[in-house]
Amino acid sequence: MKVEFELNGTRVGADVEARTTLADCIRDQLKQTGTHLACEHGVCGACTVLMNGQAVRSCLILAVQAQGERVVTVEGLSRDESLTPLQAAFRKHHALQCGFCTPGFITTAHALLTEEPEADEERIRDVLSGNLCRCTGYVPIIQAVLEARSAYAHKGNEE
């Protein structure tokens, strides 16, 4: 069946089976491979994308559920060659090693700080506890997100 939605600012369409997940549709058919699959059962958060600004697990959403919606993946967060303040903070604090879980952390943290730019450390840890990272031990990720808060302070609900 046909599905159409907005992906990183562009109208896209795909011909999918009813059972095709949004993650597989984005990766295999729309060739945006920044969204990663690490568990495919909704626990690790690596596949997190933004749907209408909300962080969702694209391995648990069917592609057809995205019909008419606005989807943003990690590729859609930085529009030019530079890093966003959140991405730059990750780099500065060495908040990634192998990089595989990173897109999910970036999208999750982006959604959190967009809605709650003043989130405190406990809140950040609580929200990010839905994403698994095996390399960093999370300490530098939390530092990076804390530092990136200032960039979201008066930005409003922009993606």
Partner 1 sequence: MRIANSYIGQPIERTEDLRFLRGRGTYVADINRPRQLTAVILRSSIAHGRLNGIDASRALQLPGVHRILTAKDFDTEIPRIALRLQPLSDLEPFHQPMIADQKVRYVGEPVAVVVAETAAIAEDALDYIAVDIEPLPVFVSREQADAALLFEQHGTNCAITWKALRGDADAAFKMAEYVRRERFKVQRHAAMFMEPRGFVADWDGQKLTVWGAAKTAWYNRRLLAASLRLPIEAVDLVEVDVGGGFGSRGEFYPEDYLIPAAAKVIGRPVKWNEDRREHMIAANHAREVECEVEIAATRHGRVLGLRGQIWSDVGAYVRTNGSVGPRNVAQYMSGPYAIENIELTSSMLLTNKTPTGTYRGPGRFETDFIRERMLDLVAKDLNIDRLELRRRNLVADRQMPYPLASITPYDSSTELDSGDYHAVFDRCLAEFDWKTKEQFSGRLIDGYYHGLAVGSFIEGGAAGPKEQARLVLEPDGTLSVYLGSSSVGQGLETIMAQIAADATEVPYEKIRVLHGSTSHVKEGYGSYHSRATVMGGSAILLAAEKLKQSIKASAAKRLGCAAEEVVLDGEQARGGNRSIAFAELIEVPIEIEAEFFNNKQTWAYGTHAAHVAVDPGTGHVKVLDYMAVEDVGRTINPATLHGQAIGSIVQGLGGAFLEHLVYDENGQLLTGSFADYLLPTASDFPKIRSLTVDLKPCPNNPLGAKGGGEGGIIPIGGIMANAVADALKHLNVQPMELPLSPPRVWALVEAAKAQLAS
Which chain residues interact with partner 1 by CB under 8 A? Answer: 17, 19-20, 27, 32-41, 43-44, 46, 73-75, 77-78, 83, 87, 90-92, 94, 96-103, 106, 121, 124-126, 128-142
Closer to partner 1 by CB, 68 or 99: give it: 99
8 A C-beta contact, residue 54 and residue 111: yes
Closest approach of partner 1 to the CB of residue 35, in Å: 7
- Nearer to partner 1 by Cβ, of 41 and 154: the residue is 41
d(CA 4, CA 34): 20
Q: Could you tell me the two tokens for 147? A: 């530092």
Angle, vertex CA 57, rays to CA 19 and CA 74, nearest 5: 115
Please report how close the Cβ of residue 45 comes to partner 1 at its closest, in angstroms. 10
User: Nearest approach, Cβ of 127 to partner 1 (angstroms)?
Assistant: 8
Least distance in angstroms from the C-beta of 62 to partner 1? 13
CA–CA dist 48, 42 (Å, integer): 9
What is the three-class DSSP state of 61?
Answer: coil
